[in-house]
């Protein structure tokens, strides 16, 4: 099977997995907001941020190095596996020991027990992670998608059951733990295909991977600080209740991104790595990824902003009514964040980790101080600060990250997102005008989305045929089997 056909197959299965998991996450959010309070979500947001910092070191960047290097021997792979397991076990113990400090810094006494439970995932994930990465490197996404869907279904069932039993924030914790265990067990059942790591470890066999991965870790740590510092500052200055009000729309926006972008970025990274010596092909692949992600993200985020009151009332209930303006502002943040996300596939696929690290290091001196200032105006001030910064960085990110790596012009780069965004704004405006006669939230949302989707499809058909051609190719490949 050619690289193009394998890429399309991988994108199709990633789509199936992401849509299913996003649907379950949305259903979980809808159900659990009826049982859990904003304070519960605020606690989980704190736990997630604390654990996510340690997660940056969970494989020392070895997974990215494993994909970026085209040929890995059996001996190297075995040594990498045991190094991953050792790092996972070490991080688990380290996070458990540091949980009281996190509770002190965030002024939340319930954190140690919650963090201790979630930290066991470091070891569990490490036991099966390399199997998943190996499958993705080969663009064999079908079994990976099956595993992800099964683990998501079980995690959803655990979360709903625990919430119904009145276990509060522990419902979210147990859901994360059960998903990690199921993913690991199914990876060994489905992906291993008889492979077992050799009982050996040689530093010489992993030294190149550690060196490459070390750069990835530095980059990811700095980037993660920039990405999650809003939650850290909010946890310190806003309190759990206000942070929960902010984190629910923020998480919804991120879930949209996690649904759409990996369809192309998870596939794009190994594809770009495999053609890294052909700059013209790299540029074409990257610009296609930009176009496709923008074409899918733009109407979703515009619809979220236009119908924010309806989404909040129907999804979260009246208790989160004050989150409506936050959701509108954060929708714009999510849209521009989705534009910049595919840059990672480009930079890492070409092995330009240092360039990304320097970029994120520069942002470290801009984003946290700006958010600290924005937090003086509450959760809405932080949301506006986040949005203003991500929009301002659109052109600089092209000049520093995109142009030097694939030589794409500013017009070629901007055009990939300009046309879909313009189509989405026009469709969103028409949808908003069409529902002015309705009062019921579900009727406004249903009729508005119908009008918006139809108009957006027409505009895309007129102005962005490339997206439709890809969809037709995916369908044709599926029906020809």
Residue 215 or residue 128, greater confidence: 128
Q: What is the mean pLDDT of residues 26-52?
A: 81
> Residue 4 pLDDT > 70, yes or no?
no
What's the pLDDT at 477?
A: 47
Q: Are 386 and 330 in contact (CB under 8 A)?
A: yes
Least confident of 86-95, 190-199, 240-249, 381-390: 240-249
Q: Are 320 and 370 in contact (CB under 8 A)?
A: no
Give percent of the chain above pLDDT 90.
34
What's the pLDDT at 479?
A: 43
Mean pLDDT of the chain: 86
> Residue 242 pLDDT > 80, yes or no?
no
What's the pLDDT at 1?
A: 55
> Residue 281 pLDDT > 90, yes or no?
no
pLDDT tens digit sequence for 106-116:
778 888 889 99
What's the pLDDT at 470?
A: 60
pLDDT tens digit sequence for 154-191:
999 999 999 899 888 889 999 999 999 999 999 999 99
The pTM for the full model equals: 0.73
- Confidence label for 351 from pLDDT (cuts 50, 70 and 90): confident
What's the pLDDT at 481?
A: 45
Residue 454 or residue 28, greater confidence: 454
Within 8 A by CB and 6+ apart from 107, the residues are: 236
CA proximity to 140, closest of 266, 19, 259, 24: 266
- Confidence label for 79 from pLDDT (cuts 50, 70 and 90): very high
What tokens were used for 475? 């369908």
- Confidence label for 467 from pLDDT (cuts 50, 70 and 90): low
Q: How far apart are the first and last CA of the chain?
A: 13
Q: What is the DSSP string of 106-125?
A: HT-TTHHHHHHHHHTHHHHH
> Residue 268 pLDDT > 90, yes or no?
no
Angle between helices 38-55 and 111-119 (to 10 degrees): 50
The owner of tokens 């470091």 is 122
Q: What is the mean pLDDT of residues 59-83?
A: 84
CA dihedral 277, 281, 287, 292 (to 10 degrees): -110
- Confidence label for 38 from pLDDT (cuts 50, 70 and 90): confident
CB-neighbour burial class of residue 95 (10 A; exposed 0-12, middle 13-18, buried 19+) = buried
CA proximity to 7, closest of 344, 263, 376, 337: 263
What's the pLDDT at 149?
A: 93
What's the pLDDT at 3?
A: 66
Q: Are 307 and 449 in contact (CB under 8 A)?
A: yes
Residue 223 or residue 294, greater confidence: 294
Give percent of the chain above pLDDT 70.
95
Q: What is the mean pLDDT of residues 63-85?
A: 85
pLDDT tens digit sequence for 356-376:
989 999 999 998 899 888 888
Within 8 A by CB and 6+ apart from 371, the residues are: 229, 230, 233, 382, 385, 386
Beta-carbon count within 10 A of 19 CB? 14
Q: What is the mean pLDDT of residues 91-96?
A: 92
Q: What is the mean pLDDT of residues 452-456?
A: 93
């Amino acid at each position: 099977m050619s690289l193009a056909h394998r890429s399309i197959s991988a994108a199709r299965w990633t789509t199936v997995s992401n849509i299913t998991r996003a649907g379950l996450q949305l259903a979980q959010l809808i159900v659990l907001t009826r049982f859990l309070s904003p304070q519960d979500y605020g606690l989980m947001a704190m736990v997630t941020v604390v654990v996510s910092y340690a997660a940056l070191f969970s494989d020392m960047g070895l997974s990215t190095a494993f994909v970026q290097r085209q040929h890995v021997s059996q001996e190297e792979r075995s040594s990498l596996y045991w190094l991953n397991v050792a790092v996972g076990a070490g991080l688990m113990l380290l996070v458990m020991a540091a949980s009281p400090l996190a509770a002190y810094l965030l002024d939340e006494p319930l954190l140690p027990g919650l963090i201790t439970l979630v930290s066991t995932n470091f070891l569990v994930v490490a036991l099966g992670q390399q199997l998943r990465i190996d499958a993705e490197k080969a663009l064999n996404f079908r079994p990976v998608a099956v595993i992800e869907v099964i683990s998501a279904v079980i995690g959803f069932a655990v979360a709903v059951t625990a919430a119904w039993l009145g276990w509060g924030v522990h419902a979210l914790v147990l859901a994360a733990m059960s998903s990690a265990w199921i993913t690991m067990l199914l990876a060994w059942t489905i992906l291993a295909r008889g492979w077992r790591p050799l009982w050996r470890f040689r530093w010489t066999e992993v030294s190149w991977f550690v060196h490459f991965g070390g750069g990835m870790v530095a980059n990811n740590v700095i980037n993660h600080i920039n990405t999650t510092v809003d939650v850290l500052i909010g946890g310190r200055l806003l309190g759990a209740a206000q942070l929960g009000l902010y984190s629910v729309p923020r998480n919804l926006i991120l879930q949209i991104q996690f649904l759409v972008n990996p369809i192309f970025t998870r596939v794009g990274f190994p594809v770009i790595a495999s053609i890294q010596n052909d700059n013209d092909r790299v540029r074409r692949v990257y610009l296609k990824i930009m176009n496709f992600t923008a074409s899918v993200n733009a109407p979703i985020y515009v619809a979220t902003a236009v119908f924010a009151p309806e989404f909040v009332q129907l999804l979260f209930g009246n208790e989160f009514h004050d989150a409506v303006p936050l959701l509108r502002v954060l929708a714009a943040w999510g849209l521009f964040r989705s534009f910049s996300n595919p840059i990672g596939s480009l930079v890492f696929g070409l092995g330009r980790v240092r360039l990304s690290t320097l970029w994120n290091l520069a942002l470290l001196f801009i984003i946290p101080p700006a958010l600290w200032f924005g937090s003086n105006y509450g959760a809405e001030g932080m949301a506006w600060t986040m949005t203003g910064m991500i929009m301002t960085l659109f052109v600089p990110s092209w000049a520093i990250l995109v142009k030097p790596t694939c030589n794409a012009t500013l017009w070629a780069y901007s055009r990939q997102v300009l046309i879909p965004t313009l189509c989405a704004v026009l469709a969103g405006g028409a949808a908003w005008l069409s529902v002015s006669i309705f009062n019921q939230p579900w009727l406004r949302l249903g009729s508005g989305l119908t009008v918006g989707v139809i108009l957006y499809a027409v505009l895309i058909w007129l102005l962005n045929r490339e997206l439709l051609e890809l969809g037709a190719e995916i369908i044709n490949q599926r029906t020809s089997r």
